[in-house]
Structure 1
């Protein structure tokens, strides 16, 4: 709900006249609204209803409960519907996993899949990894982004967490969300499969997507239409092809890719990007039904709407990530990640923070300086205080 003292009435978002499907689970109870989180990006975004620039044409009627359209390059928010309303993410949460782990893993490195990597919800989306199979990390990313493989998500999260495994990566995902200013995002699973207390918002998803679209490997994977999973000869398992489930890249001129998502609880979610006339826009939507338009089609309609707006149209801003100092401080406070076991995985371990040797040397140097200059300690404390801030669709979950 809007913070106390705000009397502005919410403008209803355009919706198609369709009935929700029978048997849809009740929406999870969200956390209490935080006025600080609701105001991130601008006061106009603090609404459960529609936020569009004055004089803008009405956006298309979509079944998405919440959505947002923003400029990937300038960060200007062109419009939204309940941009800060809590929603469950489904597999678009894999974008947060991507933003957190992709920069730290060598895509050319080969790793071995473990039995625990294949422990996913029965009937949920899997790309078909096999226990004991050896795959390049690039194939795991393709399986994650194209096919929404929860087995790939588990494997990448295990690698990303080093000795801490999946739990360490989930913690790192939550730390990354805070760094980006995605204050309404809390990850419980790396794949986006439902977990108690797992939430995000359309605004937060745009922050996360903006980071992903800035990674060259992600842009390459997201535009890949067909990929090959290598054969596992020692296990007598043949290779196979799989296709990108994001239909935007097959049907929308200028598409940049994105991510689809669905669970019975979260319903359909979608993130998509496109470029036109020198502009790159991103759309995020949550809590949608697949009728009369599928999730990617709703995203395409909202992108069309956004491209029609003037380049200076804005109702808010995608905030920039926290400063490097705050990021370093968070990394130093996080558990150190040890390289995964096994010779093949030696180069796959991420560096979540500085090495132990460098940390020790730096700490010793800082201690000497601080001991000699008390005033520097006071200035450093004040500075640190200032920078701290508070997934074609499958019938099963993806």
Structure 2
């Protein structure tokens, strides 16, 4: 008796072989290339360029067609994109220098969230007793009752050290405010700043940098109250019997003293002391882009040079945006948030885990079918060979 397999049966057996091979070797199929051929190269992640901000001198990465950076006389300066934090160019960005009243930006970042704007406070004598000689004042008087919002306008517009002293007292006191400002500075990644006097008054050891002040200015613009105060040009301040007008001392905002107003300017804060010279943190918006510029202690010209150098840097920044690669980031020194372990998804908790026996059973079944198919093909070939031999 002759036993034989039809071609259809042999094909079915081959199909079982293929199915078994696919089941037992999914990796080769998933790889997307034929066996024996080299695997295609994996895409390479973009490697960020190293920061240049700790180097001395002007730092910029110009692409073809980008305008040259203007020459400025400031001891330390920086231009950054307020949205991304990218630093477009800088000069001695981490040089530690006296900040003058630009340090009030850090004071506002620290104290603004703790005091309701509508809170009323009657000023006591001791709150005004230790104001430094020659300080800028808004006119806060002992025994007068002010709203916190009035005091903040005195800080931002008139750079009033008297208003800072009263707000610091409401915040827990002078030294408590110093400690909290220092802690806030570190939390923002501003490591060059050492706080001694919250109002920015010249004090031995008190320093900041163009980098840190840009960090403070950028962070302040994210606070609606800060942004509103720093962009206010004129306001009324309470006085004896009737209020009087006060004006922002930032000339780029008001256009005073022969300094033309800068289009799109939205603040932030200027300062001056004999040790610090003229300092400025300025921010402007144009075409959907906001830039932050810091200028510290220009060495050329007069007291208005700080505004003109800031103007040149803002103009350059808007012109160069998109045509330069960043030389660093305002977020570079900010501590990374801790990532807490996440709980397993609910679906994973409710779905039954596969049984080990069932996994092995499925694997054994596939393997058995593959072996059976291979045996069937071998048997068919033997029978066919036997027929050929006996014919």
Fold match (TM-score > 0.5): yes
Which of 116, 121, 146 is residue 135 of structure 1 equivalent to? Answer: 146
Distance 2:145 2:337 in 1: 36
For the 8 Å contact 1:42–1:317, the answer to whether it is kept is: no
Q: Whose Rg is larger?
A: 2
Which of 138, 146, 158 is residue 169 of structure 2 equivalent to? Answer: 158
Distance 2:55 2:127 in 1: 40
Q: Does 1:302 align with 2:313?
A: yes
Question: In structure 1, the residue corresponding to 2:62 is in which secondary structure?
Answer: coil
Distance 2:88 2:176 in 1: 35
Give 2:253's aligned residue.
249
Deviation at 1:93, TM superposition (A): 0.3
Give 1:105's aligned residue.
115
Distance 1:206 1:60 in 2: 19
Give 1:273's aligned residue.
283
For the 8 Å contact 2:88–2:321, the answer to whether it is kept is: no
Which of 138, 154, 157 is residue 146 of structure 1 equivalent to? Answer: 157
The change in CA–CA distance for 1:116 and 1:277 in structure 2 (over 3 A counts) is: same
Segments of structure 2 that go 5 or more residues without pairing to the other structure are 1-48, 255-260, 340-391
Give 1:322's aligned residue.
335
RMSD: 1.9
Distance 1:167 1:287 in 2: 28
For the 8 Å contact 1:127–1:149, the answer to whether it is kept is: yes
Superposition TM-score, scaled by structure 1 size: 0.67
For the 8 Å contact 2:297–2:306, the answer to whether it is kept is: no
Distance 2:329 2:233 in 1: 32
Give 2:239's aligned residue.
231
Which of 176, 180, 199 is residue 191 of structure 1 equivalent to? Answer: 199
Deviations 1:46-74 (A, max 9, x none): 11211011344332222211100101101
Deviation at 1:196, TM superposition (A): 1.3
The change in CA–CA distance for 1:46 and 1:116 in structure 2 (over 3 A counts) is: same
Give 1:29's aligned residue.
none
For the 8 Å contact 1:268–1:289, the answer to whether it is kept is: no
Deviations 1:179-201 (A, max 9, x none): 11111101100100011111111
Distance 1:270 1:151 in 2: 21
Aligned pairs (5 A) from 1:45-124: 45-55=53-63, 56-118=66-128, 119-124=130-135
Question: In structure 1, the residue corresponding to 2:61 is in which secondary structure?
Answer: coil
Answer with 244-253 or 77-86: which moved more: 244-253
For the 8 Å contact 1:71–1:77, the answer to whether it is kept is: yes
For the 8 Å contact 2:103–2:200, the answer to whether it is kept is: yes
For the 8 Å contact 1:68–1:203, the answer to whether it is kept is: yes
Report the number of matched residues. 279
Question: In structure 2, the residue corresponding to 1:248 is in which secondary structure?
Answer: helix
Deviations 1:333-368 (A, max 9, x none): xxxxxxxxxxxxxxxxxxxxxxxxxxxxxxxxxxxx
The change in CA–CA distance for 1:171 and 1:307 in structure 2 (over 3 A counts) is: same
Segments of structure 1 that go 5 or more residues without pairing to the other structure are 1-40, 327-398
Question: In structure 2, the residue corresponding to 1:175 is in which secondary structure?
Answer: helix
Aligned pairs (5 A) from 1:2-81: 42-55=50-63, 56-81=66-91
Deviations 1:139-195 (A, max 9, x none): 1111101110010111111212x2xx1100110000001111111101100100011
Q: Does 1:286 align with 2:299?
A: no
Distance 1:312 1:138 in 2: 41
Please list every run of at least 4 consecutive aligned residues from structure 1 whose deviation after the TM superposition is greater than 6 angstroms: none
